[in-house]
Amino acid sequence: MQKVRYGIVGIGKQGSFYTTLLTKLKFLLKGAQLTALCDISKERRTWAKEHLKKVAVFESYQQMFDSKLIDVVMVETPHYFHSEIAIAAFKSGLNVLCDKPAGVFTKQVEEMNAEATKHPDLLFGMMFNQRTNPLYIRAKEIIDSGKLGELKRIVWIITNWYRPKAYYDQGGWRGTWWGEGGGVLINQCPHQLDLFTYLAGLPVSVTAKTYTKGRAINVENDVTVMCSFANGATGVFITSTHDAPGTNRLEITGDGGKIVIENGKLVFTENAVSEPVFSKENKVFMGKPKTAKKSYRGIIKYLSFVKNPPQHIGILKNYTDYLLGKTDKFLAPGKEGIIGLTFSNAIHLSGWTGKEISIPFSEEAFLVELEKKKEEEKSISAK
Amino acid sequence: MQKVRYGIVGIGKQGSFYTTLLTKLKFLLKGAQLTALCDISKERRTWAKEHLKKVAVFESYQQMFDSKLIDVVMVETPHYFHSEIAIAAFKSGLNVLCDKPAGVFTKQVEEMNAEATKHPDLLFGMMFNQRTNPLYIRAKEIIDSGKLGELKRIVWIITNWYRPKAYYDQGGWRGTWWGEGGGVLINQCPHQLDLFTYLAGLPVSVTAKTYTKGRAINVENDVTVMCSFANGATGVFITSTHDAPGTNRLEITGDGGKIVIENGKLVFTENAVSEPVFSKENKVFMGKPKTAKKSYRGIIKYLSFVKNPPQHIGILKNYTDYLLGKTDKFLAPGKEGIIGLTFSNAIHLSGWTGKEISIPFSEEAFLVELEKKKEEEKSISAK
Mean pLDDT of B71-90: 97
Q: What is the pLDDT of residues B227-269, one digit of tens each?
A: 999 999 999 999 999 999 999 999 999 999 999 999 999 999 9
> Looking at beta carbons, which residues of chain B come within 8 Å of A287?
164, 166
- When pLDDT is cut at 50, 70 and 90, the band that residue A351 belongs to is very high
Of B234, B242, B245, the CB nearest to A257: B245
Provide the shortest C-alpha distance from residue B15 to chain A (in Å). 18
Contact B286 A167 (CB under 8 A): yes
Contact A288 B164 (CB under 8 A): yes
**Which residue in chain A has the smallest CA separation from B170?**
A285
Q: Is A227 left (phi over 0), alpha (psi -120 to 50) or beta?
A: beta
Provide the shortest C-alpha distance from residue B227 to chain A (in Å). 9
> Looking at beta carbons, which residues of chain A come within 8 Å of B247?
251, 258, 260
**Which residue in chain A has the smallest CA separation from B167?**
A285
**Which residue in chain B has the smallest CA separation from A259?**
B245
Q: With 70 as the cut, is the pLDDT of residue A380 above it?
A: yes
Q: Taking the CA of residue A337 as centre, how many other CA atoms within 13 Å lie in the half-sphere pointing to its CB?
A: 34
pLDDT score, position A383: 52
Q: Quick one: which of B155, B148, B146, B138 has its CA closest to B255?
A: B148
Q: CA B124 from chain center: how many Å?
A: 15
Q: What angle, 0 to 180 degrees and rounded to 10, lies between the N-to-C axes of helices A363-382 and A337-353?
A: 60
Q: What is the pLDDT of residues A111-136, one digit of tens each?
A: 999 999 999 999 999 999 999 999 99
Q: Do B144 and B208 touch, CB atoms closer than 8 A?
A: no
pLDDT score, position A1: 80
Contact A207 B211 (CB under 8 A): no
- Mean pLDDT of all residues belonging to chain A: 95
Best probe of the B interface among A243, A270, A274, A280, by most B CBs < 10 A, is: A243
3-state secondary structure chain A: CCCEEEEEECCCHHHHHHHHHHHHCHHHCCCEEEEEEECCCHHHHHHHHHHCCCCEEECCHHHHHHCCCCCEEEECCCHHHHHHHHHHHHHCCCEEEECCCCCCCHHHHHHHHHHHHCCCCCCEEECCHHHHCHHHHHHHHHHHCCCCCCEEEEEEEECCCCCCHHHHHCCCCCCCCCCCCCCCCCCCCHHHHHHHHHHHCCCCEEEEEEECCCCCCCCCCEEEEEEECCCCCEEEEEEECCCCCCCEEEEEEECCEEEEEECCEEEEEEECCCHHHHHHHCCCCCCCCCEEEEEECCCCCHHHHHHCCCHHHHHHHHHHHHHCCCCCCCCCEHHHHHHHHHHHHHHHHHHHHCCCEECCCCHHHHHHHHHHHHHHHHHHHHC
Burial A138-169 (b: 16+ CB within 10 A, else e): bbeebbeeeebbebbbbbbbbbbbbbbbbbbe
- When pLDDT is cut at 50, 70 and 90, the band that residue A324 belongs to is very high
pLDDT score, position A301: 66
Mean pLDDT of A206-224: 97
Contact A234 B224 (CB under 8 A): yes
Mean pLDDT of B285-293: 96
Which residues, other chains included, contact B304 with Cβ-Cβ below 8 Å and sequence gap of 6+? none
Q: With 70 as the cut, is the pLDDT of residue A303 above it?
A: no
Q: With 70 as the cut, is the pLDDT of residue A302 above it?
A: no
Mean pLDDT of B125-153: 96
Q: Do A168 and B279 touch, CB atoms closer than 8 A?
A: no
Contact A209 B215 (CB under 8 A): no
> Looking at beta carbons, which residues of chain A come within 8 Å of B160?
none
Provide the shortest C-alpha distance from residue B279 to chain A (in Å). 5
Contact B243 A284 (CB under 8 A): no
- When pLDDT is cut at 50, 70 and 90, the band that residue A308 belongs to is confident
Q: Which long-range contacts (CB under 8 A, 24 or more apart) does B52-59 make?
A: B52/B19, B52/B23, B55/B19, B55/B23
pLDDT score, position B16: 95
Contact A285 B166 (CB under 8 A): yes
Provide the shortest C-alpha distance from residue B236 to chain A (in Å). 8
Phi, psi (deg, nearest 5) at residue B174 = -60, 130
CA B201, B205, B209: angle at the middle one, nearest 5? 110
pLDDT score, position A171: 78
* Cβ burial, residue A219 (10 Å; 0-12/13-18/19+): buried
| Cis amide leading into A101 (omega within 30) | yes
Best probe of the A interface among B252, B279, B283, B294, by most A CBs < 10 A, is: B279
Element (H, E) at B339: helix B337-353
CA A277, A278, A283: angle at the middle one, nearest 5? 125
> Looking at beta carbons, which residues of chain B come within 8 Å of A251?
157, 247
Contact B238 A214 (CB under 8 A): no
pLDDT score, position B1: 80
Please tell me which residue, B26 or A81, carries the higher pLDDT value.
A81
Q: Do B127 and B229 touch, CB atoms closer than 8 A?
A: no
Q: How far is CA B150 from CA A20, A216, B145, in A?
A: 42, 19, 11
Of A260, A286, A356, the CB nearest to B167: A286
Q: CA A148 from chain center: how many Å?
A: 24
pLDDT score, position B172: 83
> Looking at beta carbons, which residues of chain B come within 8 Å of A244?
271, 275, 278, 288-289, 291
Q: With 80 as the cut, is the pLDDT of residue A11 above it?
A: yes
- When pLDDT is cut at 50, 70 and 90, the band that residue B2 belongs to is confident
- When pLDDT is cut at 50, 70 and 90, the band that residue B308 belongs to is confident
Q: Quick one: which of A68, A94, A98 has its CA closest to A81?
A: A98
**Which residue in chain A has the smallest CA separation from B293?**
A245
- When pLDDT is cut at 50, 70 and 90, the band that residue B75 belongs to is very high
Contact B278 A164 (CB under 8 A): yes
Q: What is the pLDDT of residues B191-205, one digit of tens each?
A: 999 999 999 999 999
pLDDT score, position B301: 66
Mean pLDDT of B147-173: 95
Q: CA B212 from chain center: how many Å?
A: 22
Contact B245 A211 (CB under 8 A): no
pLDDT score, position B70: 98
CA B99 – CA B130 distance, rounded (Å): 12
Amino acid type, A380: I
CA B230 – CA B205 distance, rounded (Å): 9
Best probe of the B interface among A174, A204, A209, A211, by most B CBs < 10 A, is: A209
- When pLDDT is cut at 50, 70 and 90, the band that residue A173 belongs to is confident
Q: With 70 as the cut, is the pLDDT of residue B332 above it?
A: yes
Provide the shortest C-alpha distance from residue A233 to chain B (in Å). 10
CA A203 – CA A347 distance, rounded (Å): 11
Mean pLDDT of B151-155: 98
Q: Quick one: which of A119, A59, A56 has its CA closest to A86?
A: A119
Q: Do A92 and A71 touch, CB atoms closer than 8 A?
A: no
Provide the shortest C-alpha distance from residue A93 to chain B (in Å). 39
- Report the SS3 class of residue B346: helix
Mean pLDDT of A375-379: 91
Q: With 80 as the cut, is the pLDDT of residue A305 above it?
A: no
Amino acid type, A158: I
Mean pLDDT of B136-152: 97
CA A50 – CA A19 distance, rounded (Å): 13
Contact A280 B170 (CB under 8 A): no
pTM of the model: 0.95
Query: A–B: how many Cβ contacts below 8 A?
Result: 154
pLDDT score, position A331: 94
- Report the SS3 class of residue B2: coil
pLDDT score, position B303: 65
> Looking at beta carbons, which residues of chain B come within 8 Å of A211?
232, 234
Q: What is the pLDDT of residues B33-52, one digit of tens each?
A: 999 999 999 999 999 999 99
DSSP structural state of residue B374: H
Amino acid type, A267: V
Q: With 90 as the cut, is the pLDDT of residue B306 above it?
A: no
> Looking at beta carbons, which residues of chain A come within 8 Å of B283?
166
